[in-house]
Homo-oligomer: A and B are copies of this chain.
Amino acid sequence: MNAKYSLVNEDLVLSEKASILVTDLAVQRGYGIFDFFKTLHGKPVFLEDHLDRFYNSVSVLRLPFKTGRAELRALLQKLMDQNQIPDSGVRITLTGGYSPDGFSVASPNMIVTQQPLVVNSELSASGIRLITHDHQRQLPQVKSLDYIMAIWLQQQIAEKNAQDVLYCPAGIVTECPRANFFIVTKDDRILTPSENILKGVIRKQLLKMKDAFEIEETGFRLEDIYNAKEAFITSTTKNVLPVVQVNDKPVGQGVPGKVSLQLRLALEQAIHEHLEKPSVQYA
C-alpha cells in the first residue's frame, strides 16, 4: 500500500485520491515508463543511477518531459520529507499524457508513489525457483510499463510452484521481468547476459566488483544454467537472491551457493559505503 502522500506532476496529493484522466496514453495504450529506487535510513540508494536510467527511458520513448534533474530531485525530496518512511521504495512513473487523438504522445503526467520497503528474508535464505518462457521484451533497454506477459504468466508460475520467470527467447537467457540474472560456472566465472535486457542498477554495482570477482557480461543459453554451479538474480528490492531451481532442474546442489552469498555481502558493503558518502542526500 502506498504511503499517505503521492505526487501527481508537481502536486502533493493524498494517495487515496491520486488519479489521472482516462484519456492518458498509459490507460489507452500502455505507453509510459517508470523507475524505482529504495531508501534506507531515509537516504535514497544509487539515486543517480536510477535517474540516469529514467532519463534514458524518457529519451527512447520520446516523452516531452520538461522537468530537469535538479527539479526532479527536489520533488522527490519533498515527497520523502512529507511521508517520513526511512526504509521505502519510491516509484516514478511517466505516462504518454492526455493524448487528443488517443495515439499521439502528449505532455507526460508524472506520478510518484512511495511504499514501505518489503524484504522477503525467508526467500533470501532458501533461494527461489524459476520457470522459463520463450519471450523477448520489446524495447528491452527501456523500463516501460509493459508487464502484460509477466502478469499473465503468474498463474503458470504458481502452478509450477515457482516464484518467478526467466525469459529465454529461442533458448537464449536474458532476464526476469523485474530482475537481472547471473550464473556462476563450475570454474567460478560469474556471467550475466549483455544484450536485449534492462540493465539493472544492482547489476551495475556487481559489474564494478571485477577486482574481487571474475565477472563478465556475455551471452549464454539455458543449457549453461543446467551446467552451472550457482545462479542468482539481482534487483533493487531483492539485492542478490539465489536461484536454486530452473524448470524442475536443481541449479548446482539445489541450495544457495557460496559465491552468491559472497556477492550479497559485497553488495551490502557497497550499499553501506554509498550511504556514507556526504553527497547522498538525507530525506
Which residues of A are interface residues toward B (Cβ below 8 A)?
1-2, 6, 8, 15-32, 61-62, 93, 95-96, 100, 103-105, 111, 113, 135, 138-139, 144-152, 154-155
Contacts and interface: CB of A to CB of B under 8 A. Distances in A.
12 contacts: A15-B23, A18-B21, A19-B20, A24-B27, A27-B32, A28-B93, A29-B150, A30-B146, A61-B152, A96-B151, A103-B150, A138-B148
Contact of A22 (B1, B111, B148, B149): B111
Contacts of A148: 29-31, 61, 138-139, 144-146
Contacts of A62: 152, 155
Nearest to A23: B2
A20 B22 CA distance: 6
Contacts of A26: 26-27, 30
B96 A31 contact: no
Given A2-B23, A23-B113, A146-B146, 11 more contacts: A1-B100, A26-B30, A27-B27, A27-B95, A30-B32, A61-B148, A61-B152, A105-B151, A105-B154, A139-B148, A144-B148
Each complex incorporates copies of this chain amounting to 2
Contact of A20 (B15, B20, B152): B20
A6 B23 CA distance: 11
A25 B150 CA distance: 12
A98 to B, nearest CB: 10
A30 B27 CA distance: 7
Most B C-beta atoms less than 10 A away, residue of A19, A27, A152, A154: A27
A85 B146 CA distance: 34
Closest 4 A/B residue pairs (Cβ)? A30-B30, A29-B147, A30-B145, A19-B19
A103 to B, nearest CB: 7
A8 B155 CA distance: 28
B154 A104 contact: yes
Contacts of A151: 25, 29, 31, 96, 103, 105
A8 B22 contact: yes
Given A28-B93, A93-B27, A104-B154, A22 B113 contact: yes
A139 B138 CA distance: 13
A186 B260 CA distance: 62
Given A28-B93, A93-B22, A138 B147 contact: no
A103 B15 CA distance: 18
Contacts of A145: 27-30, 148
A104 B25 CA distance: 22
